[in-house]
Amino acid sequence: MAQPKNYITSEDLKSHNKPGDLWISIQGKVYDVSDWAKDHPGGALPLLSLAGQDVTDSFVAYHPGTAWQYLDKFFNGFYLRDYTVSEVSKDYRRLVSEFSKMGLFEKKGHGVLMTFCFMAVLFVASVWGVLWSDSVWVHLICGGLMGFLWIQSGWLGHDSGHYQIMPTRKLNRLVQILTGNCLAGISIAWWKWNHNAHHISCNSLDFDPDLQHMPFFVVSSKFFNSITSCFYDRKLNFDGFARFLVSYQHLTFYPVMCFARINLFAQSFILLLSKRTVPYRVHEMMGLVVFWIWYPLLVLCLPNWGEKVMFIIASFSVTGIQHVQFCLNHFSSNIYLGPPSGNDWCEKQTSGTLNIECPSWMDWFHGGLQFQIEHHLFPRLPRCQLRKVAPFARELCKKHNLPYNIAPFWEANVLTLRTLRSAALQARDLTNPVPKNLVWEAVNTHG
């Protein structure tokens, strides 16, 4: 005779959302993942952000079918009494299942091999030009080529963090260290930590780190209240200095993006030198050391300090294109305050995202980010499949009245600048008092 099931309500589930007491529901079954959080491949943050909720859609989005077999060891014996499935979730899960049956999650094409070859050509050309040419113009071009190389390494790092781009996990990990840490100076561990939080809490002002760029940029006047970042676990103070910078952010956006890479260097070291649990910390540090040996040595091979500085600025500025691309997909989209919700997964992912319209021959330039809606809905899909599934995603949005925002590249830039300008003008409103500093007072003194 079957044992009677033990039920709890959604309200009961909500109370289990703190470190050491993390419960989640998947298809109505309740799991205790308190101890698993420290070993979760995606880090503890996604579990902390979504704990106390039904997370079926996000689980389906991020885990292959083989992951379901491991759930039972976390089952705590409870079922969700008021578990329901919305129509949009039914259709979304059906699409994931169909894509899986079609083998789209495993068909990675030849894009990775082509990118590796392209990167090798860029690296050899850049190094050869520095070592064997005396031309200032050649050295300038070589700096730009290095920037393009970092962009392509960024796309590979992004892909390898979402799905396995190599035949085995060990090779995938090796590629991550080589392309991210060794070649670009960016810790793959930091990127995963940051990017997982972004995907789970897309466009949440206090949970999504990709919107937390105080004091340089804000996308909403809500930042003026000095909100607390749940990612960085600190208050984002909107003081006089921040107000001064934000007031001109639509003018400083592109110049700052040219050197945004410096922040990524710093964040990589901050994480690896912190007390946080970092998988493969030694490998990560060794990879960064490799970068900080070969890149400075290459720069030092240039004949004078003027060309050295020119080379660095060129490589950083070209890579700034990628940093702009990251911003275009989300800065002008809908934002919200508070933690992510498992019950409106599709709604949050589509409303907080903007696609970039481009012809297929320009896909290499955008690295998959042009299909940002598809990528957020189906993050495990290889980049080469995103254009194929775009009509299905568009139809899903149309059927359930979800936003499917798309704009050409230049229009996306305009939308982003318009968002920044709007917040900048609000920041200049002196009737909204904040602590002032001497810089602010000097610039805004009248008479």
**Which residues in the chain are classed under CATH 3.10.120.10?**
6-84
pLDDT tens string 161-187: 888 888 888 999 999 999 999 999 999
pLDDT at position 431 over 90:
no
318-359 residue pLDDT tens: 999 999 999 999 999 999 998 888 788 999 999 999 999 999
Question: Quick one: pLDDT at residue 430?
Answer: 53
**pLDDT, mean of residues 406-419:** 96
- Burial of 326 by CB count in 10 Å (0-12 exposed, 13-18 middle, 19+ buried)? middle
Q: What is the mean pLDDT of the chain?
A: 91
**Does position 263 have pLDDT exceeding 80, yes or no?**
yes
The CATH number fitting domain 6-84, selected from 3.10.120.10, 3.40.50.1860, 1.10.10.60, 3.40.50.12140: 3.10.120.10
pTM check: above 0.85: yes
Kindly state the average pLDDT of the residues 92-112.
91
125 CB-side CA count, 13 A: 17
Q: Are 219 and 419 in contact (CB under 8 A)?
A: yes
Give the end-to-end CA distance of the chain in Å, rounded to a whole number: 88
In this prediction, residue 262 has a pLDDT band, given cuts at 50, 70 and 90, of very high
Q: What is the pLDDT of residue 370?
A: 94
